[in-house]
């Protein structure tokens, strides 16, 4: 199984990186995690077969994580000619957000007829669900109003566990989703500057002894953080980076 960073950037193109989108592929699994506004471009650059993707797991509805859904859907309809069903899973309110993002990007597209079935699955923190052969457990992230539609995700499949913080400031609510995972992909927006709604490297590093990930990769970095990337004692994501699991 392998985990590839299709895009590891923030919302502002820091470092010239594509918006957040990860690809988990194994013998039985083929899912995306997040699909930002530039993710279709990044997928085409990497030659990714979009029709093989069975599900898109979304952490939150910001454009750098969710804004690529309309492009993915129209590509599936008109160019990659998808026929297999697709699942999009995300926070509470997903059906209304799906309609909103589709209608904003391409008016009339939300209700267009397609040659494939689309299922929208709302994830509730702490309630594991089976999606496309994986076990997905969401945790409440802190990236806006408390209890808002912001998730961290733990994906378990083929005997491995992958956790992604999503965008979030530190909250103990993340611990059960992250603890003892094989791969932790963690936001590291700044080095040690603590801001509301985002995670900095120093805060994350202080939590690592109780999280105990077997592998850590930092993602979603600002220009300031990227400038220090070479001096960190852990792996820093790059667009196209693949981690074998």
Residues in contact with Zn ion by CB under 5 A are: 62, 64, 167
Given a contact cutoff of 8 angstroms between Cβ atoms, the answer to whether 22 and 30 are in contact is no
C-beta closer to Zn ion: residue 17 or 62: 62
The size of the chain, in residues, is: 245
Given a contact cutoff of 8 angstroms between Cβ atoms, the answer to whether 134 and 155 are in contact is yes
C-beta closer to Zn ion: residue 54 or 62: 62
CB of 197 to Zn ion, least distance (A): 8
C-beta closer to Zn ion: residue 62 or 82: 62
Given a contact cutoff of 8 angstroms between Cβ atoms, the answer to whether 245 and 7 are in contact is no
What tokens appear for 104 in the block? 């904003």
CB of 66 to Zn ion, least distance (A): 9
CB of 31 to Zn ion, least distance (A): 19
If you search the block for the tokens 């980076």, which residue do you land on? 241
C-beta closer to Zn ion: residue 133 or 144: 144
Across the chain, the runs of DSSP E, i.e. the strands, are 2-7, 21-25, 30-33, 55-57, 86-90, 118-122, 129-131, 134-140, 151-157, 160-164, 183-187, 216-219, 235-236, 242-244
C-beta closer to Zn ion: residue 1 or 199: 199
Count CB neighbours of 148 within 10 A.
16
C-beta closer to Zn ion: residue 30 or 165: 165
CB of 117 to Zn ion, least distance (A): 29
Region class of 71: left (phi > 0), else alpha (psi between -120 and 50), else beta: alpha
CB of 241 to Zn ion, least distance (A): 18
CB of 15 to Zn ion, least distance (A): 14
Given a contact cutoff of 8 angstroms between Cβ atoms, the answer to whether 240 and 46 are in contact is yes
Going from the C-alpha of 124 to that of each of 63, 140, 149, 212, the distances in angstroms are 21, 8, 10, 24
Of 192, 191, 183, which is closest to residue 164 (Cα–Cα)?
A: 183
C-beta closer to Zn ion: residue 64 or 239: 64
CB of 108 to Zn ion, least distance (A): 27
């Amino acid at each position: 199984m392998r985990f590839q960073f299709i895009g590891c950037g923030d919302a502002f193109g820091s470092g010239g990186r594509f918006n957040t989108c990860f690809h988990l592929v194994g013998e039985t699994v083929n899912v995306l995690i997040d699909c930002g506004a530039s993710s279709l471009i990044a997928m085409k650059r990497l030659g990714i077969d979009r029709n093989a993707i069975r599900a898109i797991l979304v952490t939150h509805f910001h454009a750098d994580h969710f804004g690529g859904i309309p492009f993915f859907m129209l590509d599936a309809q008109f160019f990659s000619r998808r026929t297999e069903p697709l699942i999009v899973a995300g926070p509470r309110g997903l059906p209304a957000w799906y309609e909103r993002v589709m209608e904003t990007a391409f008016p009339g597209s939300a209700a267009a007829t397609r040659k494939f079935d689309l299922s929208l699955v709302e994830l509730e923190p702490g309630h594991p669900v089976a999606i496309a052969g994986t076990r997905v457990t969401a945790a409440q992230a802190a990236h806006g109003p408390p209890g808002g539609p912001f998730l961290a995700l733990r994906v378990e499949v083929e005997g491995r566990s992958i956790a992604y913080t999503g965008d979030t400031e530190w909250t103990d609510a993340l611990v059960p989703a992250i603890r003892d995972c094989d791969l932790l992909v963690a936001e590291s927006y700044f080095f040690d500057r603590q801001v509301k709604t985002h995670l900095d490297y120093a805060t994350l590093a202080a939590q690592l002894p109780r999280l105990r990930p077997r592998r850590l990769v930092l993602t979603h970095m600002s220009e300031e953080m990227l400038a220090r990337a070479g001096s960190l004692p852990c792996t820093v994501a790059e667009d196209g980076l693949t981690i074998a699991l």
